[in-house]
Chain A
């Protein structure tokens, strides 16, 4: 079991201080970017991370990559806690974890040639020099579908899709085990997006890569992921194997998110019961008490505002608590961690299949946005 898991994140917390303006910049609050998140990423598999702006998914990714220090919790990479490592001890691990960024324009230095950009990892980690480096870079370029003869070109001479291929080649250079893809196709046109997604999937099979794949496009995440976790305001609300999550979403937020995603199918769009959420995501500086989703949740009851629900597997939720084994802590198995085999949901009143969620009519203003699709 342990061998299957590449990364194990345990109770990860990341707060950013909010400083007061003025001469003495004392801390007046904390942005709760990631708040007590646990998950696992399996070897050779893809964990999709879905969430809206401000849900903390990128911060989580940066913590996993060791790019920023964590507030508390552990990130175990192949059994080593990377949050405690010194810079020197971290360096060999950095080869194993690479990132692909969203914007292929700002993530490539416009003044450097493509060969130099892709060759940088070899220089930094001193793994190849001179002609050998050039050979390896050209091999990489060919592998990701770029013409190796374009070694000496500048990023500006490439289109968006080709630039993203450069980013992929750079991430691949040191043969990492984990690639963190932070919205890798969001900036690309649909036809190009499909090219890059196919490339990522080919590389995964060829090199046995694991991906932590972050995107806001639910269909893209469904397409690439084995397991999916849904984040809301710094917490994971629901996680499951991809098909289970899309077929039987249980958290009302997941249901709303899925119903909001535009499908390129007019009949399906017309037939769909849209759950239109009222209001906006609350501030992560002062997240709501209890369930963080309760102010916008169509199913919220008083308990939701007081008691924060824990992630529990669905077979436990379905049954009443007096199951004989209700000591849920004892029952917590590896499969219950997001990214594991079970479908886990943090909700007091999970949605059951076939249930229709009404649009929340609790907007503060006069008009809760509710519409009748024609």
Chain B
């Protein structure tokens, strides 16, 4: 049974400068015990998306549905939401220092969270459970560290404490919003390892929001790539990495420095992400895309299956067969561009490569 089913979610924020359309029609499912990785750059809407599920977006106009264990999260009152948040769905934020209260002891904060949901737990029991949780997430000497203040913990230990808190009530779903971005590589490895292990033990579903494709490659089962408030591509992990269909996914993968391209030139995506107030027409990625077609300027593509399995979907007008990083796929993309690109689309493509300016002068355009 599907644990969480989000359908056609829209979130926008009215501001003095105009309406910020942060999320524009996103649908996805999360199965129990599985990990969904949501990847995207700053401003792609990945954080707003998940915060909306928990009723944490104030002043937003929300539309769509998000059914979790049979109830629509978006229709809950604040009181009802409070009993879900923390107990059934919990969150781990990026910065563990700002998500812990600096003036209260770590153990007290974990116990408080347990007691807020279950009034029958005494202070003492809460403390005992906090110690047990800290032990579980690998804090050394938990019976003495439970009385420490957050500043006495290192960054990695604080994130462990946050994970302990998120696990306290054995939720069915954990949303981790860039949980390792503020941490060093070796500590990040520890935390990801811990999350994976706990997830297996408790059969918890995990939504992992990150901008780091390396983290996704490590722990996700399925991946959703977001761009300008929409899902650009959705697929099982291996297909995203080895047979990407959307040019944005492909661009992301190619702009990472990797061992195979050491010393050579990187292939960045030209330009910058669009303003969410003033979005481009048609496909929102077209001003940065190397494969613009005329259709891209006017019509926004929706997610459609690009592989026989049906689980790999992409919002791009390129033919389904043009998925992947192989020479054959590239040939097919260029062929499509030659056949279907008119003058207007060619101008957009030229502008995009000019945007890269001197830094990409030697690359030339796609054709």
Q: Which residues of B contact A216 (CB under 8 A)?
A: 184-185
Interface string of A260-285 (1 = CB under 8 A from B): 11111111110000101101110000
Contact of A267 among B42, B140, B238, B252 (CB under 8 A): B238
Q: Is A131 an interface residue (CB 8 A)?
A: no
Q: How far is the CA of A242 from the CA of B263 in the complex (A)?
A: 10
Beta-carbon contact of B217 and A263 below 8 Å? yes
Question: By the criterion CB–CB under 8 Å, are B135 and A366 in contact?
Answer: yes
Complex Cα distance, B358 from A142, in Å, reads: 9
Contacts of A223 in B (CB 8 A): 257, 261-263, 266
Are A365 and B360 CB-contacts (below 8 A) given A246-B259, A257-B185, A276-B189?
A: no
- B214 partner, pick from A192, A263, A267, beta carbons under 8 A: A263
In chain A, positions 360-374 with a C-beta closer than 8 Å to chain B are 363-371, 373-374
* B360 & A198 in contact (Cβ 8 Å cutoff): yes
Q: Is the CB of B69 closer than 8 A to any CB of chain A?
A: no
Residue among A162, A192, A194, A280 with max Cβ neighbours from chain B (10 Å)? A194
Given A219-B256, A269-B217, A365-B138; A52-B196 close (CB under 8 Å): no
- List chain B residues, Cβ under 8 A from A191: 41, 251-252, 255, 268-269
* A241, B187: Cα distance in complex, Å: 26
Judge whether B141 is part of the interface by a CB distance below 8 angstroms.
yes
Tell me how far the C-beta of A9 lies from the nearest C-beta in chain B, rounded to whole angstroms. Answer: 24
Given A191-B41, A223-B263, 19 more A-B residue pairs with CB atoms under 8 Å apart are A53-B184, A159-B272, A160-B42, A161-B272, A162-B272, A192-B268, A193-B268, A194-B256, A198-B359, A222-B262, A260-B189, A262-B192, A263-B217, A263-B258, A264-B213, A264-B216, A269-B218, A280-B156, A369-B193
**A175 part of interface (Cβ distance < 8 Å):** no
B135 CB to closest chain A CB (Å) equals: 6
| A4 interface hit (Cβ, 8 Å) | no
Q: What is the 8 Å Cβ interface bit string for chain B, positions 136-163, against chain A (1 contact, 0 not)?
A: 1011111000000000001111000000
Q: Given known contacts A263-B217, A276-B190, A277-B186, is B212 in contact with A194 (CB within 8 Å)?
A: no
Q: Are B214 and A262 in contact (CB under 8 A)?
A: yes
Chain B positions within 8 Å of A261 at CB level: 185, 214
Inside 8 A of A321's CB, which chain B residues have their CB? none
A364→B141 contact, CB < 8 A: yes
By a CB distance below 8 angstroms, the chain B residues around A371 are 193-194, 196-197
The chain A residue with its CB closest to the CB of B43 is: A189
Among B42, B200, B242, B251: residue with most chain A CB under 10 A? B42
CA gap between A194 and B41 in the complex, in Å: 13
Contact between A194 and B188 (Cβ–Cβ < 8 Å)? no
- B186 touching A192 by the CB < 8 A rule? no
Partner of A260, one of B186, B237, B253, B257: B186
- List 13 A–B pairs whose Cβ atoms lie within 8 Å, in order of A's numbering: A145-B358, A145-B359, A199-B359, A201-B265, A256-B186, A260-B185, A262-B212, A262-B214, A265-B217, A265-B258, A266-B218, A280-B187, A369-B194
**Residues of A that sit less than 8 Å from B by CB:** 52-53, 142-143, 145, 159-162, 189-195, 197-199, 201-202, 216, 218-220, 222-223, 242-243, 246, 256-257, 259-269, 274, 276-277, 279-281, 363-371, 373-374
> Which of chain B's residues has its CB closest to A372's CB?
B197
Instruction: List residues 262-279 of chain B with CB under 8 A from any CB of chain A.
Output: 262-263, 265-270, 272-273
Whether A202 pairs with B358 at a CB distance below 8 angstroms is yes
Smallest beta-carbon distance B193→chain A, Å = 4
Whether the pair B241, A264 counts as a contact (CB closer than 8 A) is yes
Contacting pair B358 A143 (CB below 8 A): yes
- Is B97 in the interface zone, CB < 8 Å from A? no
Q: How far is the CA of A257 from the CA of B190 in the complex (A)?
A: 12
Q: Given A198-B359, A269-B218, decide whether A222 and B257 contact each other with a Cβ distance below 8 A.
A: yes
Question: In whole angstroms, how far apart are the Cα atoms of A374 and B214 in the complex?
Answer: 17
Identify the interface centre among B140, B237, B241, B253: most chain A CB within 10 Å of its CB: B140
Contact A262 B241 (CB under 8 A): no
B185 interface neighbour in A52, A192, A222, A266, Cβ under 8 Å: A52
**Given A263-B217, A364-B141: A219 touches B255 (CB 8 Å cut-off):** no
Task: Indicate if the CB atoms of A219 and B241 lie closer than 8 Å.
Answer: no
Tell me the bound Cα distance from A219 to B218 in angstroms: 16
Residue among A216, A219, A264, A274 with the most chain B CB within 10 A? A264
Residues of B within 8 A of A219 (CB): 256-259
Q: In whole angstroms, what is the CA distance A246 to B263 when docked?
A: 13
How near does chain A come to B255, taking the closest CB pair, in angstroms? Answer: 4
B259 cross-chain contacts in A, Cβ below 8 A? 219, 222, 246
Residue of A nearest to B355 (CB): A145
Residue B357 at the A interface, CB < 8 A? yes
The residue among A190, A198, A263 with the most chain B CB atoms within 10 A of its own CB is: A190
Give every chain A residue within 8 A of B268 (Cβ-Cβ): 191-195, 198
How close is B359's CB to chain A, nearest CB, in angstroms? Answer: 5
Contact of A197 among B266, B270, B360 (CB under 8 A): B266
* Assembled-state Cα–Cα distance A243/B260 (Å): 12
Instruction: Output the least CB separation between A313 and chain B (Å).
Output: 23
Q: Is B164 in contact with chain A by the CB < 8 A criterion?
A: no
Q: Is B215 an interface residue, CB under 8 A from the partner?
A: yes
Shortest Cβ gap from A343 to chain B (Å): 17
B3 at the interface (CB under 8 A from A): no
Q: In the complex, what residues of B have CB within 8 A of residue A260's CB?
A: 185-186, 188-189
- B211 at interface, CB cutoff 8 A: yes
Q: Taking each of B188, B192, B193, B356, which has the highest tally of chain A beta carbons within 10 Å of its own beta carbon?
A: B193
In the bound assembly, the distance between CA atoms of A267 and B263 in angstroms comes to 23
Roughly how many angstroms separate A220 CA and B135 CA in the complex, as a whole number? 35
CA distance A371 to B218 in the complex (A): 13
Q: A194-B266, A197-B266, A264-B214 known; A365 and B141 CB under 8 Å?
A: yes
Check A367 against B138 for contact (C-beta < 8 Å). Answer: yes
- In the complex the two chains form, is B255's CB within 8 Å of A145's CB? no
Q: Which residue of B lies closest to A186 (CB)?
A: B181
A365 B257 Cβ-Cβ under 8 A: no
B140 touches A189 (CB 8 A): no
B261-301 near A? 1/0 per residue, CB < 8 Å:
11101111110110000000000000000000000000000
Which residues of B lie under 8 Å from residue A269 when comparing CB positions?
214, 217-218
The residues of B that contact A281 with a CB separation of less than 8 Å are 154
When the two chains form their complex, are residues A266 and B186 in contact, meaning their CB atoms are under 8 A apart? no
Residues on B with beta carbons closer than 8 Å to the beta carbon of A366: 135
Cα A363 to Cα B253 in complex, Å, equals 36
Q: Are A277 and B257 in contact (CB under 8 A)?
A: no
Shortest C-beta distance, B223 to chain A (Å), equals 10
Chain A neighbourhood of B237, CB < 8 A? 266
A277 and chain B: residue at smallest CB distance: B186
Q: How far is the CB of A113 from chain B (nearest CB, A)?
A: 20
Which residues from B are CB-within-8-Å of A192?
41, 268, 272
Q: How far is the CB of B34 from chain A (nearest CB, A)?
A: 12
